[in-house]
Structure 1
Amino acid sequence: MPEATATDRGRQVRQRLRVAASELVPELGWAGVSTRLLAQRAGVAPGLVHYHFSSLHALLREAVLEVMRELLGQLATRLEQTDSLDAGLDVILGSVGACTDRDPTSLLFAEAYLAAARDEQMREALAALLTDLRRTVAHWLNRHSHPTPDHTALVLAAALDGLLLHRALDPGLTPARVAPVLRRLLHLHGDE
């Protein structure tokens, strides 16, 4: 087996740093992650953090956005495979149903939103992800002949975010509790 090149080793270190960051942000909060802790978790020397990334915040941003993109990509794939509005709503609510008030994914999303309030690059990146999510949901709604796919996608995306954030404060707020209201929304066929 050929020996890894310097480029391959660099990619591996960058990936280990991103994975460590995506684990530490939910555990400690955005501000609680230090270069030393991050390097220790990734099993690399602290100097490699700044060798591979322009700053600790750039690394945290990249790591968190990578996780969020992957999760939203999985949601898009699953939505594309649905054969009805109800099945799609089940997919959307199922993605939230796995989240609790203290699970790493929910905490990561909450930390990302908080960071975006103070970091313009993070805000722009999250806004782009949100636009992609809305576009995905609107495409799914349109594919199932929903009369107002764009506007309904806005509401569903906001409901999804709200449900994630509210569950941190009210673990009893389950997808099952909001499903009937969202199902009615999907089946409204009147004027806007």
Structure 2
Amino acid sequence: MSTTDRGRVVRERLLAAAVDLIAERGWTAVTTRVLAERAGVTPGLVHYHFASLSRLLAEAGVGVVRDALVGIRAAFDAADTPLRIIRVLLDAMDGLDEADVASPVFSETYLAAVRDPALRAQVTALLSDFVSTLTERFALAGVPDAAGTAAVVTATMDGLILHRSLTAPPDRATTERVLTRLIAPEATT
């Protein structure tokens, strides 16, 4: 294996360990030593591959958010009605189970972004891009005020993800019924 390949493998192990630790312990409880131990490398390699622990955590958290949003965006291709768009979003939520790290990593990344301007800029860019995509889908499906609706639905989905970490959110049928009534009331009659 080349030096470049070994370096890529170490970076991937560090990022994967960071994702797991963010979910398990919370952003602020991740230390260089614990991260290196989890990744099976020496602490010096953490700082060799990343400018700082906070930048490594940011890259890991943003990666989870980006991957989730890219997956949803790809599923929108088949969503041509408001109800199908809602179902794509809810399918993505259903993909999160009790053992999934995405929910707590989303929450931890958002919280860290409040205090870190560079991270905030990255997360804001991802969310803005997602809201734009959702706006386009809603506009094509004839949803009034597509931009406002996309912003509110995105915030609602974020809230549901946060609630998963705290308590059981409303069940899927209830969530689908309420969102459909708000976005496409004609679909409920």
Name the TM-score, length of structure 1 as normaliser: 0.89
State the match for 1:127 in structure 2: 124
| Contact 1:22-1:64 within 8 A present in 2 as well | yes
| Contact 1:99-1:106 within 8 A present in 2 as well | yes
State the match for 1:118 in structure 2: 115
Establish whether residue 154 from structure 1 lines up as the match of residue 151 from structure 2: yes
User: Match of 1:173, SS?
Assistant: coil
Establish whether residue 91 from structure 1 lines up as the match of residue 78 from structure 2: no
How many residues are treated as equivalent by the alignment?
186
CA root-mean-square deviation: 1.8
State the match for 1:34 in structure 2: 31
- 144-153 or 170-179: which moved more? 170-179
Aligned mates of 2:111, 2:99 — CA distance in 1:
16
Query: Deviation digits for residues 51-80 of structure 1, max 9, x if unmatched?
Result: 010100100000111111011000000112
State the match for 1:164 in structure 2: 161
Aligned mates of 2:97, 2:165 — CA distance in 1:
7
Q: Please, which runs of 5 or more residues in structure 1 have no aligned partner?
A: none
Establish whether residue 56 from structure 1 lines up as the match of residue 44 from structure 2: no
- The within-5 A match list for 1:2-21 is 4-21=1-18
Instruction: State the AA in 2 paired with 1:132.
Output: D
Higher helix share: 2
Aligned mates of 2:89, 2:30 — CA distance in 1:
31
Instruction: State the AA in 2 paired with 1:55.
Output: S
